Amino acid sequence: EVQLVQSGAEVKKPGESLKISCQGSGYSFTDYWIGWVRQMPGKGLEWVGIIHPDDSKTRYSPSLQGQVTISVDKSISTAYLQWSSLKASDTAMYYCASRGMGGSYLDWGQGTLVTVSS
Amino acid sequence: DIQMTQSPSSLSASVGDRVIITCRASQGLSNSLAWYQQKSGKAPKLLLYGAVSLESGVPSRFSGSGSGTDYTLTISSLRPEDFATYYCQQYYITPYTFGQGTKLEIK
């Protein structure tokens, strides 16, 4: 069974750092790009960026480039999304996704809720 | 960036109705378009990719059409479990972008 399992919910203060994870199993992890998608409270889906686990090549949304970093450790089939200095506006559900045709997303993680509040 | 404009943003319909949701891109996508269904509190679910290809296990009442910049998702006969929010996504070129969503509600 293909699974993407994300790390648990986080509550942080503005200015703190954070790294959330997404571990894939049940498929060849290095064969497919992994994407991150943001959903702010009550809002739609927003594409954050992607990484290829084999060579760590990344692409970012221009609106988020420099605000987040996507990385991967292929030895443990895990992708990461990290922030060096969180803002209240980073409060959202973050999903990882992979394995669709082209750049579509067939498999999704369960989501990681990030809450940033003083 | 390619802008994706979905319409309508919300829609009230009854069980058994035929529903059409439209997605317009700011440039041609060569059919690199996917449709997703999202229910409250859940991750999105892929319905169609390549504009017209039904993902395995998705009921045949869902269909997609279109080309160039204009695409549609059609639900031929609504069932109670279809009431959800629907999103289009272009994956023609990065940054991949989503439409703003269409909330389908029970009339």
Q: Which residue of B lies nearest to A61 if distances are taken between CA atoms?
A: B95
Are A100 and B46 a contacting pair at CB < 8 A?
A: yes
Contact of B53 with chain A, judged by CB distance below 8 Å, is answered with yes
- HEC string of B1-60? CCCEEEECCEEEECCCCCEEEEEEECCCCCCCEEEEEECCCCCCEEEEECCCEECCCCCC
Give Cβ neighbours of residue B6 (< 8 Å, ≥ 6 apart). Answer: B21, B22, B23, B24, B86, B87, B88, B99, B100, B101, B102
Q: Tell me what the mean pLDDT of segment A15-25 comes to.
A: 98
Of B44, B49, B87, the CB nearest to A102: B49
pLDDT at A53: 96
Contact of B31 with chain A, judged by CB distance below 8 Å, is answered with no
Q: Tell me what the mean pLDDT of segment A59-67 comes to.
A: 95
Contact of B70 with chain A, judged by CB distance below 8 Å, is answered with no
**How far is it, in rounded angstroms, from Cα A99 to Cα A108?**
9
Where residue A15 falls among pLDDT bands split at 50, 70, 90? very high
Amino acid found at A60: Y
pLDDT at A40: 98
CB pairs under 8 A between A and B: 69
Where residue A5 falls among pLDDT bands split at 50, 70, 90? very high
> Residue A62 burial by CB count (10 A; 0-12/13-18/19+): exposed, middle or buried?
exposed
pLDDT at B88: 98
Q: Is B78 helix (H, G, I), strand (E, B) or coil?
A: coil
Contact of B64 with chain A, judged by CB distance below 8 Å, is answered with no
pLDDT at B54: 98
pLDDT digits (tens, 9 = 90+) for A74-104: 999 999 999 999 999 999 999 999 998 889 9
pLDDT digits (tens, 9 = 90+) for A33-51: 999 999 999 999 999 999 9
**Closest Cα of chain B to A48: distance in Å?**
8
Q: How far is CA A92 from CA A16, A95, B47, B57, B86, in A?
A: 16, 10, 24, 30, 19
Listed as ranges, residues in chain B with pLDDT below 70 are none
